[in-house]
Amino acid sequence: MLKKKVRKSHQRILAGNPIWRAFAQKPISRQLHTDITLTSLCAFDELVAGSGTRVHASRLYACCNMGLVLSEWGYGAECIEDILAAQASICSCQERALNGFGYSLNPAESGTIREFLGIHQQQTELATEAEIARAFAIVEDQMIFR
């Protein structure tokens, strides 16, 4: 008896649609790149200013996860250590918030995350729209919000 192959949502994005496959090979649009960049920069600015929330920290963490996925696909594989350092900085920010000190970044953490945001911007410039969509889907499948 043959088992039916179960696909995850990120594996279905390109399945069976030749128009989408052709569309997906083009580079990411300038508008989408700007939206991704602004979302992460706004979250970063709020955390640096000390007025961040759990949502801001979660957005940055999701960007880190997306950066890890893209680096595993060859977009900045040499930067995995920097991305993991940024994730650790966000985790320590979240830990402080759970202890009642609010969502904010110290100077060392903000420097680490600023370096990651530069890497992430380059990754999103180089990846195709299909790769960005797949990375978002993978992050969405794996993300656990508390």
pTM: 0.75
Residue 76 counted as domain residue: yes
Q: Which of 20-29, 42-51, 113-122 has the lowest mean pLDDT?
A: 20-29
Query: Average pLDDT, stretch 120-129?
Result: 86
Residue 15 counted as domain residue: no
Residue 83 counted as domain residue: yes
Give the pLDDT of residue 5.
41
Residue 113 counted as domain residue: yes
Instruction: Supply the range of the domain harboring residue 90.
Output: 28-142
pLDDT digits (tens, 9 = 90+) for 53-96: 999 999 899 899 999 999 999 888 888 999 999 999 999 999 99
Task: Report the helix count and the strand count for the chain, using DSSP H and E.
Answer: 6, 0
**CA 35 – CA 44 distance, rounded (Å):** 14
Given phi > 0 = left and psi -120 to 50 = alpha, else beta, which region is 117?
Answer: alpha
Give the pLDDT of residue 6.
41
Residue 10 counted as domain residue: no
pLDDT digits (tens, 9 = 90+) for 108-117: 999 999 999 9
Highest mean pLDDT among 23-27, 34-38, 118-122: 118-122
Mean pLDDT, the chain, as a whole number?
Answer: 80
Residue 20 counted as domain residue: no
**CA 82 – CA 101 distance, rounded (Å):** 25
How many structural domains are present in the chain? 1
Residue 22 counted as domain residue: no
Residue 8 counted as domain residue: no
